[in-house]
Structure 1
Amino acid sequence: MQPHGLIVVGVDGSAPALAAARWAARLAGLTGGPLEAVAVWDFPCLYGEHGLVPPALDGFEPEHRAARILDETAAHCAVPLRRHLKAGPPGPALVTAAAGAALLVLGNRGHGTPPEVPLGTVAQYCLCHASCPVVIVRAGGVSP
């Protein structure tokens, strides 16, 4: 990895994502590279009679939830990090955010993946499509 190279970490508020953010922050501290945390939000849709219809959920604001996740992640990192919100499907959004980065760091699974599954769909997508190296961190994983 190049010194001073951008490290991008995908966060979703899960324990593996927090472990990934801490791992990435330690690496950024060692290399002197900038760290960017990316939270992706997408408004969930339900299938209805007339196609995709957003659910009517009072107070449900996924963009604000993603922004809170970025704030909480920043509070757990020992180095400054840039915060970036992206809208859309998580895999493609993270791959796009990591274009030109030295490294993409992710947790092994997010909230939607059952505990017995070792690697979630977003991590799998990023491993297959990212243009930079990808590091997958498990909650309770090892330090860099």
Structure 2
Amino acid sequence: MYDEMFNLNAKGPFFAVQKFAPLINRGGSVVLTTSVANVKGLPGQATYGAAKAALRSLARTLATELLPQEIRVNAVSPGPIATPILDKVFTDKEMAAQVREKTIGMIPMKRFGTSEEIAKAVLFLAFDATFTTGLEIPVDGGWSQF
């Protein structure tokens, strides 16, 4: 599990940026996807949280390393997002509903986010935030802030 999490969430993005950076035009942008788990210390998610924290650190480092090419590197950090993942992880519908309700209770905005909300943050960092690099934007209903 450890290797799988780090391969997917840290090594994969590192090698992808390494290969694609020479192809990105000056003024271009990279947006990495971290997670609220990189700051929350969620029980049962040690390897996932650690891999996402490594990715957050990588975003900062790449932001400085790619400055000479005028490439900005930022990150978006989703919290709980309304996707089919809970139903895949918890095949028992009642258990999935309980997890969903418990999670909603921990989010200050009292709801899951949407894919569209994540996309808007990514688009902002990729195209509009032209004087921003090394930033992580949490899109998590305030969960990481309280």
Q: Taking structure 1 as the reference length, what is the TM-score of the superposition?
A: 0.35
| Larger fraction in strand | 1
Q: Taking structure 2 as the reference length, what is the TM-score of the superposition?
A: 0.34
| Larger fraction in helix | 2
Tell me which of the two structures has the higher relative contact order, counting C-alpha pairs closer than 8 angstroms and 6 or more residues apart. Answer: 1
Larger Rg: 2
